[in-house]
Amino acid sequence: MSTTTQDPKSIEKVLDLIKDIHIAMMTTVDEQKNLVSRPMAVIHTDADGSLWFFTKKSSPKVDQIEDNDSRVNIAFADTDNSTYVSVSGTATEVDDRAKINEYWTAEAKPWFPAGKEDPELTLLKVNTEMAEYWDSNSSRIVRLFQMVSGAITGTPPDMGENEKVYN
C-alpha cells in the first residue's frame, strides 16, 4: 500500500474508479453516536474530489451532518470488477438554486416529484479529505485462482492496487 498527499493524479484515479459507480453508501453519526448508512446517488464530482448529492432538507442526515462536526464516509463498491473506494471528509448542506439547476437530471425526478423547484430539495457537498481504494486489474478467473492458490499455499493473494490518497 502506498500513501499519496495532495497528488492531483491520485484524486483523478479515485474519480476515475467511482465514475461508473452511481450509488454509494453515505455514513453519518446519529444523535446516539451510532453510525448510520444509506444509499445515495452521486450527482456530480469536482476535479478536487468533492462529491455532490441531492437530498431533502428535512432528511435526518442533514441534521446528523450539522450536529456531528459534518464527518462522513462515502463507500463505493463495484463487485464485478473488484473495485472498492472509501472516501472520508466533511459534508455541508448547500442550498444553491443555480447549482441545483446545473446538476439536475431526469434520474432525480422520482425522488423529487416536484422537480428542481421542490422547496425541500437541497445539495450535500462532501469535501474529500482522504480516500482509500482497492482496485484489482485482474479478471475474475485470475482473482479466483489467486484466492485458491493463497488458501493452499498460505500466501495471501495479490488482489490488486491499494492506495490512500490525502487531499
* Sequence ranges of the domains in the chain: 2-166
pLDDT the model gives residue 21: 95
Report pLDDT digits (tens) over 55-74. Answer: 999 999 999 998 778 999 99
The model's confidence at residue 8, banded by pLDDT at 50, 70 and 90, is: low
pLDDT: is 82 or 89 the higher one? 89
Task: Round to whole Å and give the CA distance between 34 and 71.
Answer: 13
The model's confidence at residue 43, banded by pLDDT at 50, 70 and 90, is: very high
Average pLDDT, stretch 142-149?
49
Please state the pTM of the whole predicted model.
Answer: 0.81
Over 70: is that where the pLDDT of 39 sits? yes
pLDDT the model gives residue 5: 47
Cell numbers 432528511 correspond to: 59
What single-letter amino acid sits at 112? F
The model's confidence at residue 143, banded by pLDDT at 50, 70 and 90, is: very low
Task: Round to whole Å and give the CA distance between 167 and 132.
Answer: 11
pLDDT the model gives residue 159: 54
pLDDT the model gives residue 166: 76
Is-contact 87 125, C-beta < 8 A? Answer: no
Work out the percent of the chain whose per-residue pLDDT is above 90.
67
Over 80: is that where the pLDDT of 52 sits? yes
Of the candidates 108, 105, 72, 83, the one whose C-alpha atom is nearest the C-alpha of residue 18 is 83
Span 2-166 CATH architecture: Roll (2.30)
Whole-angstrom CA distances from 129 to 15, 37, 52, 88, 142 are 14, 19, 14, 6, 33
